[in-house]
């Protein structure tokens, strides 16, 4: 039987090594103190990259990336992070080239790959697939996106971006805009933002609003203000506007997707009218929701946000594999 790493949030907050050997499955597994530890480590990694330091933190360690769904930023930033720490990376970016195309189960794939690598990073189209992965893995597992479930490492990158740009993580008015129903990045981020005491404005058409059960859970857990709207004008008063693409792959009716693809567009006109002078964030890729005419404006931080994927994931990998022989 595979030896499953403990996924519980440790009680000894702030102690060095608290994340060693753990899985990273949900942002809800962590406290504010744990997240702040991760972001402090991420900032240290960023400074190390800026100084072009050669690091060997994870020399002789191997990471496996099992991506059953397409990815550019997540997969490549994980692989870059591992290599910049002196480790190696194996894996696949197209499930059709793996044994899953022959009918191999996720459980069997994970059992086998656990003997090839020290840590496994998985993206899978099925929400909840990570529970099966953790049950069958004998090495730590990182959730790189499970269907419409969560994307916790993206949430950490988002928090790091906000901290770098706004110099704080709490007490902000933040608008989450667009596909709040299907966006796994949104689902992880909403919990993380509420944990730090931010007020959330959920801007979406009714068909794409955040699930009611999730909203109520966030409010009961963190006692923050969560309001709903279908007007993009409401985002103009906020200090952060986070707008992911509409998730085409989650729609069964292509006509319905096209109805919502351009429902909200953040452009120069929006920013010129905005009272809150918001930063504009996105997990990327973008389609129609962010106009290219704002790419060079000071408010637009989405490309910088993407670049932070490397130091944040360096921190995550280093902290999980710390102390593992």
Q: Is the residue at 22 inside a domain? A: no
Residue-wise pLDDT tens digits, 55-66 = 999 999 999 999
Q: Which residues pair with 226 in a beta bridge?
A: 200
- Domain of residue 258, residue span: 152-294
Q: Are 290 and 266 in contact (CB under 8 A)?
A: yes
Q: Is the same domain home to 66 and 48?
A: yes
**314 and 240 within one domain:** no
3-state secondary structure 47-78: HHHHCCCCCCCCCCCEEEEEECCCCCHHHHHH
Residue 97: per-residue pLDDT: 67
CA dist 77 and 128 (Å) reads 23
Instruction: List the CATH number of the domain containing 211.
Output: 3.40.50.1370
156 lies in the same domain as 289: yes
Look at residue 241 and tell me if it is in a domain: yes
Indicate if 119 and 200 belong to the same structural domain.
no
Answer yes or no: is 19 within a domain. no
User: For residues 226 and 219, is the Cβ–Cβ distance under 8 A?
Assistant: yes
User: Which of 79, 73, 105, 111 minimizes the C-alpha distance to 92?
Assistant: 79
- The neighbour count for residue 1, using CB atoms within 10 Å, is 6
271 with 172, same domain: the answer is yes
d(CA 28, CA 188): 8
From CA 312, how far away is CA 150, in angstroms rounded? Answer: 17
Predicted pLDDT of residue 14: 42
Q: For the chain, percent helix, then strand, then coil, each to nearest 5?
A: 45, 15, 40
Residues 6+ apart with CB under 8 A from 254: none
Same domain, 224 and 206: yes
Cα dihedral: 286, 287, 293, 297 (round 10): -10
pLDDT for 61 equals 97
What is the rounded CA–CA span in Å between residue 74 and residue 306? 9
State whether 121 and 212 are in the same domain. no
Residues β-bridged to residue 227: 201
Within a domain: residue 20? no
Residues 170 and 280 reside in one and the same domain: yes
Q: Reply yes or no: is the peptide bond before residue 111 cis, omega within 30 of 0.
A: no
Please tell me whether residues 31 and 130 are part of one structural domain: yes
Find tokens 């086998």 and name the residue.
112
Q: How many domains does the chain have?
A: 2
- 163 and 265: one domain? yes
pLDDT digit string (tens) for the chain, length 325 residues: 344 444 433 333 344 688 899 999 999 989 999 999 999 999 999 999 999 999 999 999 999 999 998 888 999 999 999 999 999 999 998 776 677 767 789 999 999 999 999 999 999 988 888 999 999 999 999 999 887 778 999 999 999 999 999 999 999 999 999 889 887 888 889 999 999 999 999 999 988 999 999 999 999 999 898 999 999 999 999 999 999 888 777 777 787 777 777 888 999 999 999 988 899 999 988 888 999 999 999 999 999 999 999 999 999 999 999 877 6
Looking at the annotation, which residues are catalytic? 73-74, 102, 123, 151
Q: Which residue from 104, 133, 135 is spatially nearest to 121, judged by alpha carbons?
A: 133
Q: Look at residue 14 and tell me if it is in a domain.
A: no
| Rounded-to-integer distance, Cα 318 and Cα 37, Å | 12
Regarding whether 289 and 160 lie in a shared domain, the answer is yes
Note the pLDDT of residue 79.
Answer: 97
Residue 267 and residue 180 share a domain = yes
Q: Which alpha helices (DSSP H) does 123-267 contain, by range?
A: 129-136, 152-166, 184-195, 212-222, 254-261
């Amino acid at each position: 039987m595979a030896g499953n790493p403990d996924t519980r949030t440790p009680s000894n907050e702030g102690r060095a090594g608290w994340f060693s050997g753990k899985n990273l499955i949900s942002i809800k597994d962590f406290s504010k103190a744990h997240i702040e530890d991760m972001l402090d480590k991420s900032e240290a990694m960023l400074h190390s990259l800026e100084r072009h330091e050669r690091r060997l933190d994870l020399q002789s360690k191997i990471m496996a990336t099992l991506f059953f769904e397409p990815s550019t930023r997540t997969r490549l930033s994980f692989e870059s992070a591992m290599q910049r720490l002196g480790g190696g990376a194996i894996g696949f970016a197209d499930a059709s080239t793996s044994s899953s195309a022959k009918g191999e189960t996720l459980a069997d794939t994970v059992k086998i790959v656990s003997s090839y690598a020290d840590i496994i990073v998985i993206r899978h189209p099925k929400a909840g697939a990570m529970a099966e992965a953790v049950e069958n893995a004998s090495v730590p597992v990182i959730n790189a996106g499970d269907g419409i479930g969560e994307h916790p490492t993206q949430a950490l990158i988002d928090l790091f971006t906000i901290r770098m740009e706004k110099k704080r993580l709490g007490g902000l008015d933040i608008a989450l805009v667009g596909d709040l129903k299907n966006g796994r990045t949104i689902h992880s981020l909403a919990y993380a933002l509420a944990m730090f005491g931010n007020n959330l404005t959920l801007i979406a058409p009714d068909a794409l609003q955040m699930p009611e059960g999730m909203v109520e859970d966030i409010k009961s857990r963190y006692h923050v203000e969560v309001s709903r709207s279908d007007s993009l004008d409401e985002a103009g008063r906020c200090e952060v506007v986070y707008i992911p693409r509409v998730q085409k792959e989650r729609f069964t009716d292509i006509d319905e997707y096209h109805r919502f693809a351009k429902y909200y567009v953040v452009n120069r006109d929006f920013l010129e009218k905005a009272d809150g002078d918001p930063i504009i964030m996105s997990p990327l890729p973008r389609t129609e929701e962010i106009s290219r005419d704002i790419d060079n404006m000071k408010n637009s931080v989405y490309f910088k946000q993407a670049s932070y994927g490397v130091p944040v994931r360096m921190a995550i990998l280093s902290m999980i594999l710390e102390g593992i022989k």
